[in-house]
Amino acid sequence: MRAVAIIPARGGSKGVPGKNVARVGGVPLVARAVRSALAAPSIDGVFVSTDDAAIADAARGAGAQIIDRPADIAGDLATSEAALLHGLDALAAQGIEPQVLAFVQATSPFIDSEALGAAVSSVLAGEHDSMMAAFETYAFLWQRGESGATGVNHDHSFRPRRQDREPHYQESGAFYVMDVAGFRASGFRFFGRVGIAEVPASTGIEIDDLHELEASRALAPLLDRPSPVDVDALVMDFDGVHTDDTATVDQNGVESVTVSRSDGMGISMLRKAGVPMLILSREENPVVAARARKLGIEVSHDVQDKLPYLERWCAEKGVPLDRVAYVGNDLPDLPCLGAVGWPVVPADAHARVLAAARVVLSRPGGRGALRELAERILEARDGQAR
């Protein structure tokens, strides 16, 4: 391995307990970091250094290998450099001695894989000794003093226009790339010829508190790129997913709902592809069972506690939860959405449900959302076949 990524991710976060497995875009932060590193073609192996079993499980599930992090370098005062040097020693004990190390941070949810890969290639080619992810800024910085505030990067008596100023660069914190020999000699992430791997400012958020976590969840549907949905099973709520969450009631109290023929075609395509499917609904209504019969898929309705039922169904099908897409639109769906690998919501889902999603569909419930999802599931299968 010429280049490896190490992601230090300890379990003892104080500001946001369990931070490294908190979900953004429906995916644990550490898994997002692993996937971003794996997507950089110049990186040959991805390793997570951790002292926490839940972090290790999430990292393995995303494709990383685990380095067991000792307690003495996993506390509040431990430096990232200590974890990185320990990780390099652990790899050397396995006969892995890379030329370049990418230090990737799980607390940055929107890592630019293309910029990361380019930075690794640059250090491999000897163009730089160390590099950092940073974004361009024209911000005026100030500092407080006894006699009042003064400008740090500008003369506060003069206000030049943006186009007349040279940009500065702010570290995003997402990744640092280092020549291993230089890093071992210096013991710090910056040395020699330091380069900047420029990334979009929109990706520069770092999660250190709950406000930043919630902001990241709100940004995820805007910043995460649409991708094929690689799953082995699909479980769906009914109201608000197969329907538009409305019902018509006649003078005899009989309810009827409207469904989408396009959604029905999507379900038919998945059925022909052999994808196990289940409608799982809290509603006790004959229309749910009737629609499932029409679609030719399994149904269970009047299920008030859906998560245990989902877990049993997946166990019976032999499908791990992280290989399941669950589609829901409202608060009762949150436990199931939080348990599966692919939490999916229609465009008109409740705000809290949108924040829990890995995939936010462009179509609303009952109006083509399931057809859109079906095509993305089949796209993943077609890609694997090729």
Residues with Cβ within 8 Å of residue 160, at least 6 apart in sequence: 154
At 16, phi and psi to the nearest 5? -135, 95
SS3 content of the chain, % helix, strand, coil (to 5): 40, 20, 40
Q: How far apart are CA 314 and CA 312, in angstroms?
A: 5
Residue 385 confidence (pLDDT): 59
> How, if at all, do strands 23-24 and 194-198 pair?
unpaired
Angstrom distances, CA of residue 133 to CA of 21, 257, 322, 368, 383 = 23, 51, 31, 39, 31
Q: Positive or negative, the Cα torsion across 358, 363, 367, 372? A: negative
pTM of the model: 0.79
Size of the chain in residues: 386
Residue 162 confidence (pLDDT): 85
190 backbone φψ class: left, alpha, beta (φ>0; ψ -120 to 50): beta
Q: How far apart are CA 131 and CA 174, in angstroms?
A: 11
| Tens digit of pLDDT at every position of the chain (386 positions) | 999 999 999 998 888 999 999 999 989 999 999 999 999 999 999 999 999 999 999 999 899 999 999 999 988 888 999 999 999 999 999 999 999 999 999 999 999 999 999 999 999 999 999 999 999 999 989 999 998 998 888 888 888 888 888 889 999 999 999 999 999 999 999 999 999 999 999 999 999 999 999 999 989 988 888 789 999 999 999 999 999 999 888 888 888 889 999 999 999 999 999 999 999 998 878 889 999 999 999 999 889 999 999 999 999 999 999 999 999 999 999 999 999 999 999 999 998 999 899 999 999 999 999 999 999 999 999 877 55
Residue 240 confidence (pLDDT): 95
Q: Which two tokens stand for residue 12?
A: 């003892």
Angstrom distances, CA of residue 140 to CA of 159, 170, 182 = 9, 12, 34
Q: Given the structure tokens 């500001």, which residue do they identify? A: 15
Residues with Cβ within 8 Å of residue 360, at least 6 apart in sequence: 221, 344, 345, 347, 349, 354
Q: Which two tokens stand for residue 318?
A: 């032999």
Angstrom distances, CA of residue 22 to CA of 71, 99, 236, 286 = 22, 32, 24, 38
Alpha helices in the chain (DSSP H): 29-38, 53-62, 80-93, 113-124, 180-186, 210-223, 261-272, 286-295, 306-317, 334-339, 351-355, 369-385
Q: How far apart are CA 133 and CA 33, in angstroms?
A: 14
Cβ–Cβ < 8 Å for 108, 201: no
Q: Which amino acid is at 28?
A: P
CATH numbers and ranges of domains, the chain? 3-223 (3.90.550.10), 233-385 (3.40.50.1000)
Degrees, nearest 5: CA angle 20-25-30: 25
Q: How far apart are CA 302 and CA 290, in angstroms?
A: 14
